[in-house]
Amino acid sequence: GLIPVSVIGLGNMGQALAATFLSAGHPVTVWNRSAGKDKRLVGNGAVRAETAAEAVAASRIIVVCLSTYEVAWSTLMPLKTTLVGRVIVNLTTGTPDDARRMSAWAEEAGIDYLDGAIMAIPPMIGSPEALLLYGGRKELFEAYQPVLRLLGGNTTYLSEDPGVALLHDLAMLTMMYGAWYSYFHAHALLRTAHISAEVFLPYSSNWLQQLIVPMLTSKDAARKLDEGDYATDISNMTVNKLGLDNIVKSSQELGVPADWLLPIQAVADHMVAMGYGNDGFDRVIEAMTNHRAHG
Ligand code: NDP
What domains appear along the chain, each with residue ranges and CATH number?
A: 5-160 (3.40.50.720), 168-287 (1.10.1040.10)
How far are the Cα atoms of 65, 94, 249 from residue 58, in angstroms, in the given order? 17, 26, 62
Choose between 6 and 291: higher pLDDT. Answer: 6
Residue-wise pLDDT for 121-132, tens only, equals: 999 999 999 999
Coil/strand/helix, residue 89:
strand
Measured distance CA(97)–CA(111) in Å, rounded: 18
Compute the distance from residue 72 Cα to the ligand 1 centre, in Å. 10
**What ipTM does this complex have?**
0.99
Question: Is residue 116's pLDDT more than 70?
Answer: yes
Counting Cα atoms < 13 Å in the Cβ hemisphere of 221 gives: 13
- Are the CB atoms for 147 and 3 separated by under 8 Å? yes
In this prediction, residues 246-270 reach a mean pLDDT of 97
Burial of 148 (0-12, 13-18, 19+ CB in 10 A): buried
Compute the distance from residue 9 Cα to the ligand 1 centre, in Å. 6
Compute the distance from residue 64 Cα to the ligand 1 centre, in Å. 10
**What pLDDT is attached to residue 291?**
62
Residue-wise pLDDT for 24-80, tens only, equals: 999 999 999 999 999 999 999 999 999 999 999 999 999 999 999 999 999 999 999
- Total residues found in the chain within this entry: 295
Cβ < 6 A, ligand 1 pocket: 9-14, 32-34, 37, 65-67, 71, 75, 92-93, 118, 121-122
Question: Is residue 91's pLDDT more than 70?
Answer: yes
In this prediction, residues 224-242 reach a mean pLDDT of 96
**What pLDDT is attached to residue 295?**
45
Measured distance CA(209)–CA(138) in Å, rounded: 37
- Are the CB atoms for 80 and 111 separated by under 8 Å? yes
Mutate to test the pocket of ligand 1, among 6, 13, 41 (most ligand atoms within 8 A of CB): 13
Specify the residue with its C-alpha closest to ligand 1, atom 46: 34
Compute the distance from residue 260 Cα to the ligand 1 centre, in Å. 30
